[in-house]
Amino acid sequence: MGGDKAPDEIVAGAKQAVEELGVPVVLVGQPEAIGDPGPCEVIAASEVIAMDEDPGQGVRRKKDSSLVRAAEAVRDGKASAMVGAGNTGATMASALLRMGRIKGVNRPAIATPIPVPGSTPTILLDAGANAECTAQMLVQFAQMGSVFAAGRYGIDKPRVGLLSIGEEETKGTPLVKETHALLAEGVGINFIGNVEGRDIISDRVDVVVTDGFTGNVALKSMEGTLRFIVGKVFEAFLSSDEAKEAANVLLPALAPVADELEPDNTGGAMLLGVDGVCIISHGSSSARAIVNAVRVARDSVDGDLVNRLRDSLSG
Amino acid sequence: MGGDKAPDEIVAGAKQAVEELGVPVVLVGQPEAIGDPGPCEVIAASEVIAMDEDPGQGVRRKKDSSLVRAAEAVRDGKASAMVGAGNTGATMASALLRMGRIKGVNRPAIATPIPVPGSTPTILLDAGANAECTAQMLVQFAQMGSVFAAGRYGIDKPRVGLLSIGEEETKGTPLVKETHALLAEGVGINFIGNVEGRDIISDRVDVVVTDGFTGNVALKSMEGTLRFIVGKVFEAFLSSDEAKEAANVLLPALAPVADELEPDNTGGAMLLGVDGVCIISHGSSSARAIVNAVRVARDSVDGDLVNRLRDSLSG
């Protein structure tokens, strides 16, 4: 029931996922809004937590909401993973309150893959779950991000960087300096030191660790810049008939890059640290985005992500 | 003496600035390194603070460095403004220690113009001077940024936004919430509320206020994304002979955008809050960048920026 294009695109994506991936998909929501569920099972949920609703209040008050019921389905073993394109905070709160945390995890974090055309994505976490963080939380994010990058993208010993405003360990806030010191002591990951904003969309680092405030600002600054530049390039392509023809010639070379950068193709972000698989898709998710999110969910379950996280944090 | 291309490009830029702008330029540095100063006066300074040197130590120990001597020239009325492309922290420390602060200013901030092709730039501050800030500091940054945007770009009642992770005043860190409350009380500026990372490179806001850690991360994330995308587009343009021809057709439409985005054309960032004009140019500044920085310095002096800042902060 969540997302700018719900429920139509979400339901369409669920049906496509069943067909394309052979994964059984359970739709959770108002049966009358869902309409024909096709090959999908339906779990009825009468309430909806709106996109702009307060997450904590929404989850506490709307016990029969699609988000809460979806998280319960995972908790109760009726589903192996949940996927949502709605209110991010409420998705997180539902997962946290119903699935619980992996033992030892202080706070879950949102891990967002930043596409780097020509290379594996860079995992940025926390991308917005926790505006305020402690050094201990950031160390766990580093460990969880490393497991995720290895499991999801097959990266051997992922290079983990701490986001700061200079490479020297003396740079940054007290939080960054304290975290740097803890990570440098060795916490079972391949820590490469501080990295800067410009390193995120590059092949210099695999996992970038930061607090949820900074991570969200960085993510949205990059998204804004990308959208702005792509918009300007398209304006130029459409500026005259000659330009349109020229643009057609360039399409074969540009299309693969655009394809890798397209948010619908990343499959969404992952909530790491809860005791179950929870994928947070973009609010503007199309059916295609949902198919990819289901693929990521399936891969995460097949790859035993939650148990891998459990093992890495129990050390 | 500062910058990746010093002193050659800096000296060349200074000479060009005299010719093109008719502004007398004083070169501060080692006379033998400067070589022929052309029409420029030279103030000898025997020491250089390196790009990677600790700013505080550098300024304390190297009293005869080009940065310290340049700031003293402004203090003593031998120059109306200083321009530097070297160590940012040391430039700031020199200006702060030699020129002093404008009365009432808690801490100076780096105001960086983010080019928004087709519109006036967005002023982002603090872009890295103060990793840690108080709400009172951010309020002053908002006031100084507003004066700068009005004076430098002629923007009437600049729209000032507070960088956060959601538009609602309940979003963000305690620092952001406290600052939001103070700004909303009315501090003589046109406060439009919270803005997000994606709003920086847009025409929705004129001044974006944040702490120096977040600001620096946002700035470098945007720079990195921009450089990455431009690189990929150029790769596509050069991917075949047909592509090269097509790219030539598109150049007239793309060149103006590329031109506005080119860092050399912004003239650099401004250190706001010190009692004098101090322009911080990009480390990679070419002669062209220096000419533009001198232009910004001249305009700031002619526009009486420091006194305008003084007036806005004395209220």
Span B225-241, pLDDT tens digits: 998 988 888 888 999 99
Question: Domain check: are B127 and B100 in the same one?
Answer: no
Question: Domain check: are A180 and A213 in the same one?
Answer: yes
Q: Which domain CATH number covers A85? A: 3.40.718.10
- What is the b/e burial string over B264-287, where b = at least 16 CB atoms within 10 angstroms of the residue's CB? bebbbbbbbbbbbbbbbbbeebbb
Percent residues over pLDDT 70 in chain B: 100
pLDDT for A8 equals: 95
Percent residues over pLDDT 70 in chain A: 100
Q: Collect all residues of chain B within an 8 Å Cβ-Cβ radius of residue A250.
A: 236-237, 243, 246-247, 250
Question: Domain check: are A125 and A206 in the same one?
Answer: yes
Query: Which run of H or of E encompasses A125?
Result: strand A122-125
Question: Domain check: are B43 and B81 in the same one?
Answer: yes
- Interface membership of B131 toward A (CB under 8 Å): yes
> How far is residue B280's CA from residue A288's CA, in Å, rounded to a whole number?
46
Question: Domain check: are B119 and B204 in the same one?
Answer: yes
pLDDT for B257 equals: 85
- Interface membership of A173 toward B (CB under 8 Å): yes
Question: Domain check: are B86 and B20 in the same one?
Answer: yes
**Amino acid symbol at A185:** E
pLDDT for A256 equals: 86
Tell me if residue A165 falls in helix, strand or coil: coil
Question: Domain check: are A99 and A169 in the same one?
Answer: no
Q: In what order do the strands lie in the sheet with B190-195?
A: B81-84, B277-280, B269-272, B109-114, B122-125, B207-209, B159-163, B190-195
- A237 pLDDT exceeds 70? yes
pLDDT for B63 equals: 96
Average pLDDT over residues A204-220: 97
Q: Which residues contact A265 (CB under 8 A, 6 or more apart)?
A: A115, A259, A288, A289, A292
Question: Domain check: are B24 and B75 in the same one?
Answer: yes
Residue A248 maps to a domain:
no
Please state the separation of Cα B16 from the chain's center in Å. 21
- B255 pLDDT exceeds 90? no
Instruction: Provide the shortest C-alpha distance from residue B219 to chain A (in Å).
Output: 7
Question: Domain check: are A120 and A101 in the same one?
Answer: no
Span B144-155, pLDDT tens digits: 999 999 999 999
- A272 pLDDT exceeds 90? yes
Span A73-124, pLDDT tens digits: 999 999 999 999 999 999 999 999 999 999 999 999 999 999 998 899 999 9
Q: Collect all residues of chain B within an 8 Å Cβ-Cβ radius of residue A213.
A: 164-165, 172-173, 176, 214
Q: Are A305 and A151 in contact (CB under 8 A)?
A: yes
Instruction: Provide the shortest C-alpha distance from residue A209 to chain B (in Å).
Output: 13
Residue A124 maps to a domain:
yes
Residues 220-249 of B with CB under 8 A from A: 220-230, 232-233, 235-237, 239-240, 242-243, 245-247, 249
pLDDT for B141 equals: 98
Average pLDDT over residues B183-206: 96
Span B104-134, pLDDT tens digits: 999 999 999 999 988 999 999 999 999 999 9
Residue B3 maps to a domain:
no
Residue B266 maps to a domain:
no
Residues 146-165 of B with CB under 8 A from A: 163-165
Instruction: Please provide the average confidence, as pLDDT, over all residues in chain B.
Output: 94
CB contact under 8 A, B246 and A242: no
Query: Which of B134, B173, B217 to mutate against chain A (most A CBs within 10 Å)?
Result: B217
CB contact under 8 A, A246 and B249: yes
From the list B199, B217, B242, which residue is nearest A224 (CB)? Answer: B199
**Amino acid symbol at A286:** S
Residue B45 maps to a domain:
yes
Please state the separation of Cα A196 from the chain's center in Å. 21
- A263 pLDDT exceeds 80? no
Residues 253-282 of A with CB under 8 A from B: 253-254, 257
Residues 45-64 of A with CB under 8 A from B: 52, 54
From the list A131, A217, A254, which residue is nearest B197 (CB)? Answer: A217
Instruction: Please provide the average confidence, as pLDDT, over all residues in chain A.
Output: 94
Which segments of chain B does DSSP mark as H helices, in order?
Answer: 8-21, 31-34, 55-61, 66-75, 88-99, 135-153, 174-184, 212-237, 241-261, 287-302, 305-314
Q: How confident is the model at residue A167 (pLDDT cuts 50, 70, 90)?
A: confident
Question: Domain check: are A40 and A135 in the same one?
Answer: no
> How far is residue A307's CA from residue A301's CA, in Å, rounded to a whole number?
10
From the list B117, B217, B245, which residue is nearest A214 (CB)? Answer: B217
Tell me if residue A36 falls in helix, strand or coil: coil
Instruction: Provide the shortest C-alpha distance from residue A298 to chain B (in Å).
Output: 30
Q: Phi then psi for A190, rounded to 5 degrees?
A: -95, 80
Q: Collect all residues of chain A within an 8 Å Cβ-Cβ radius of residue B229.
A: 225-226, 229-230
DSSP B101: B
- B38 pLDDT exceeds 90? yes
Q: Are A82 and A70 in contact (CB under 8 A)?
A: yes
From the list B128, B218, B232, which residue is nearest A117 (CB)? Answer: B232
CB contact under 8 A, B196 and A220: yes
DSSP A80: S
Q: How confident is the model at residue A315 (pLDDT cuts 50, 70, 90)?
A: low
Average pLDDT over residues B180-191: 95
Please state the separation of Cα B55 from the chain's center in Å. 18
Residue B18 maps to a domain:
yes
Domain that holds residue A158: 116-219+258-264
The pairing of strands B109-114 and A81-84 is unpaired
Nearest to residue B234, comparing CAs of B215, B214, B254, B204? B254
Q: Are A67 and A242 in contact (CB under 8 A)?
A: no
Q: Collect all residues of chain B within an 8 Å Cβ-Cβ radius of residue A253.
A: 235-237, 239-240, 243
Total residue count of chain A as it appears in this document:
315
Both tokens assigned to B293: 């920085």
Q: How many CB pairs under 8 A join A and B?
A: 174
- B263 pLDDT exceeds 80? no
Residue B262 maps to a domain:
no
Provide the domain count of chain A.
2
Q: Collect all residues of chain A within an 8 Å Cβ-Cβ radius of residue B244.
A: none
pLDDT for B315 equals: 59
- Interface membership of A131 toward B (CB under 8 Å): yes
- A199 pLDDT exceeds 80? yes
Residue A156 maps to a domain:
yes
Question: Domain check: are A149 and A195 in the same one?
Answer: yes
Span A21-68, pLDDT tens digits: 999 999 999 999 999 999 999 999 999 999 888 899 999 999 999 999
Nearest CA in chain B to A226: B225
Q: How confident is the model at residue A168 (pLDDT cuts 50, 70, 90)?
A: confident
Question: Domain check: are B118 and B45 in the same one?
Answer: no
Lowest mean pLDDT: which of B13-22, B32-41, B253-262, B300-309? B253-262
pLDDT for A255 equals: 87
pTM of the model: 0.94
Q: Which domain CATH number covers A158? A: 3.40.50.10750
- Interface membership of B202 toward A (CB under 8 Å): yes
Looking at B185, B200, B215, which one is the last position of a domain? B215
